[in-house]
Amino acid sequence: MTESDEYETTDVVICGCGPTGAMLSAYLGQMSIKNVVLEKEADITTDPRGIALDEDGIRFLQGLGIYDGIYTEIGTCMNIFKFVDGTKPDLSRKAFLEMDYGTTEGGTGHVGFICHKQPVLERYLRDKMAANGLCALRSGCSVTHLSESEEWTYCEYTDAEGKTHHIRSKFFVGADGKTGYTRKRYLEPKGIQMERAHNSFYEETWVALNWHISIPNKESHPDFPLWSLGYTPEQVYDLFFPVHFRFLCNPKRPAVCGRFGPLADRLWRFEFVVLKDEDGTEMAKPHMMRKIIFPYITHPGSRYGLPSDVQYPEDCINVLRSRPFMFSARSCNRWSEGRVVLCGDAAHVFPPFGGQGIASGFRDASSLAWRLAVLCKASTQGLTLPHEKFFTAWYLERKQQLEKSLASTITNGEFVTESNPIKIFIRNWSLWFMQLIPSWRDKLRLGQRHEGLFRYQYSNGMPFIPSLNGGLCVPQVYCKSLNSDNNVYFTDDVIFKGKKGLFQLLVYLKAPNDMILAGKDAFDIETISQGHIYESDITCITEADPQTLTSYAKNEPCYPTYSIATGEEFAKSELCKGRPEPKYFDPYRMRKELKGHKYTILRPDRFVFASCSTREDLVKAVRALVMYLNGSEMGMH
């Protein structure tokens, strides 16, 4: 019996089908790469763990074609983060700082954060995995052995019935979390270790609770005192479980709370710190939950002119989760060894204050998927590329972005957990003063988004050309087509959706007469790129009015062309249903970040490989891309 007879064969095996593994699998399938996903659990967990997803995460869901489900079943916009100080358990207390994450200032075309229902999010991801037939999910399976040769990884696993199976793959990805097999059992003996990612942060235990809230009414709770004051059931719910997310900067016991998931589901999260002399398991028990959380949903009667305090009915609260968890800021020294790669929580773990856990795993998956696709397709063609260099460049890029996400998380955490009264005084008064100056106030209110889109700093082997504006995450704006359907689109969708190649050429035109020059410059791109960029994939985006462009389109050879759309046009479109209208949206953001360059080569993860304005520079950039994809040094930095 030959090895190929003994082992099932696929391109990539992914261990773990949480959000990161599912997204990686779905993107690999989208790129025509066969993969098998081994998941230990029999089904998606019903326990909503992570609840926040930032605009990058929304953008990655959009890239898989999941946008329609985001505001219908998955979640809703988180809008304003309120930072509230003091020791009094009062959710209506005025915030000393507010960050508005319902705006569209961040450069992705999306709001800053949604609060999602993780089981529904995972179901959507798994549906996308199944849609193309290239992703095989095997639930109830546990990896028992892993090894590798120069060309393959070899995995042994048992299924739900205890039967042993063998599968070989070109690459093996561990997305199985911080205690999973891939890192703990296979890579740690090879020298890969979790290390503290930031010296200024600490490790703590918190308790996380999820509640499902029912609404009382006059029939179910006739003695509830607010009925006599004319309050409706919905108003009572809003009083005790107000909109917007709150960071409770209580120096005695910091906490975080707010609604999550679709509004109609009435889900509420409360997290609180476990103090040094307390036991996390004990603090998660019902009697401690009542002691710590119920004061926040008990209002003084004086607020309503009543003689007694008013508590939200306890029988309207269904506890879905109450458990302790340890959080820390850690990252592995290396994220790969040979043909085995780590991503998501297997490679790094986050504190909860910035909502970056799932989003960081999504970034890992998006940027790893296209590299695996390049390596697998090259192998199919008989080419051997230096996969170690590909993976090293990948995780060195990702570590840069991880540091920025961590810095944002630490800033939020410092607001929440500060206990020194002198530092609290200085914090509050400095923030009060800063908000007297309009420009500073606006920066504070926009939270951690005002620094713009992320740009990688180049080091050897990274797949972009820094001298040609490479390494920038390209902004996403809104656009409309030249026909009369008046539809509005996301630019990512017109650039990447349904295209043949992994890399795309974007032609950005400020004026309509540039179309003629663009057509003459770029026609031989497919030959120059050796088939890596397809002429039929080229997309033009312009600032000109569509009606003006129509006459040029009739007389000159051109590519599918879209005119940028305004925030007002987006607000009237189907894409805006269920989410806030775009605020602070800049329709010219793409041109500004691309420095007015006409041609931009885009990587599949939405980062710029190179942008330029002349045919000569475009040819040089394409040839550098070909060298990289052939495993050679690019030759231009």
Give the tokens for residue 216. Answer: 């009382």
Separation CA 70–CA 265 (nearest Å):
14
Sign of CA dihedral 494, 496, 498, 501: positive
The residues of the chain that CATH labels 3.50.50.60 are 8-51+117-196+330-389
Separation CA 248–CA 93 (nearest Å):
10
DSSP H stretches of helix in 484-614: 491-496, 514-522, 525-528, 546-555, 567-571, 589-593
Beta strands in 214-289 (DSSP E): 245-249, 255-260, 267-273
Write phi, then psi, for 599 (nearest 5 degrees).
-115, 135
Q: Please give the helix or strand (H or E) that residue 562 lies within, else none.
A: strand 561-564
Look at residue 534 and tell me whether its pLDDT is greater than 80: yes
Q: Please give the helix or strand (H or E) that residue 443 lies within, else none.
A: helix 438-445
Look at residue 545 and tell me whether its pLDDT is greater than 80: no
* Residue from 520, 492, 485 nearest 506 by CA: 492
Q: What mean pLDDT comes out for the span 25-48?
A: 95
* Residue from 135, 132, 125 nearest 66 by CA: 125
Q: What mean pLDDT comes out for the span 605-611?
A: 97
Q: Are 26 and 128 in contact (CB under 8 A)?
A: yes
Reported as a single tens digit per residue, the pLDDT across 157-173 is: 999 999 999 999 999 99
Residue 271: per-residue pLDDT: 94
Q: What mean pLDDT comes out for the span 412-420?
A: 75
Reported for 545-552, long-range contacts at CB under 8 A and 24+ positions apart, including other chains, are: 546/480, 546/481, 546/482, 548/512, 549/482, 549/512, 549/515, 550/482, 552/512, 552/513, 552/515, 552/516
458 forms bridges with which residues in the sheet?
none
Confidence tier at 307 by pLDDT (50, 70, 90): very high
On the CB side of 601, CA atoms within 13 Å amount to: 32
Q: Indicate yes or no: pTM above 0.75.
A: yes
With tokens 């041609």, the residue in question is 599
Separation CA 486–CA 471 (nearest Å):
33
Q: How many C-beta neighbours within 10 Å does residue 222 have?
A: 9
- Spelled out in words, what is the top-level CATH class assigned to the domain 8-51+117-196+330-389? alpha beta
Q: How many C-beta neighbours within 10 Å does residue 310 have?
A: 19
**Residues in the chain, overall count:** 637
Give the tokens for residue 577. Answer: 């249903």
What is the C-alpha end-to-end distance of the chain, expressed in Å?
A: 50
Based on its alpha-carbon atoms, the radius of gyration of the chain, rounded to whole angstroms, reads: 26
Reported as a single tens digit per residue, the pLDDT across 227-259 is: 999 999 999 999 999 999 999 999 999 999 999
Of the options 3.40.50.300, 3.40.30.10, 1.10.287.70, 3.60.40.10, the CATH number for the domain spanning 453-630: 3.40.30.10
Q: Are 84 and 270 in contact (CB under 8 A)?
A: no
Indicate the average pLDDT of the chain. Answer: 90
Residue 599: per-residue pLDDT: 94
With tokens 């000109």, the residue in question is 544
What percent of the chain shows pLDDT beyond 70? 92
Separation CA 472–CA 573 (nearest Å):
29
Reported as a single tens digit per residue, the pLDDT across 359-377 is: 999 999 999 999 999 999 9
Q: How many C-beta neighbours within 10 Å does residue 426 have?
A: 12
Residue 554: per-residue pLDDT: 47
Separation CA 517–CA 507 (nearest Å):
11
Confidence tier at 546 by pLDDT (50, 70, 90): low
Residue 513: per-residue pLDDT: 63
On the CB side of 19, CA atoms within 13 Å amount to: 27
Reported as a single tens digit per residue, the pLDDT across 310-361 is: 999 999 999 999 999 887 778 899 999 999 999 999 999 877 666 678 999 9
For strands 504-509 and 539-542, give the pairing.
parallel
Write phi, then psi, for 104 (nearest 5 degrees).
-120, 45
Separation CA 497–CA 63 (nearest Å):
8
Separation CA 161–CA 405 (nearest Å):
41
Look at residue 30 and tell me whether its pLDDT is greater than 70: yes
Look at residue 137 and tell me whether its pLDDT is greater than 50: yes
Reported as a single tens digit per residue, the pLDDT across 477-505 is: 999 987 656 799 999 999 999 999 999 99
Residue 555: per-residue pLDDT: 46
Q: What is the DSSP string of 168-186?
A: EEEEEEE-S-TTSHIIIII
Confidence tier at 390 by pLDDT (50, 70, 90): very high
Residues 94, 450, 79, 364, Cα dihedral to 10°: -130
35 forms bridges with which residues in the sheet?
12, 135
Separation CA 18–CA 45 (nearest Å):
9
The residues of the chain that CATH labels 3.40.30.10 are 453-630
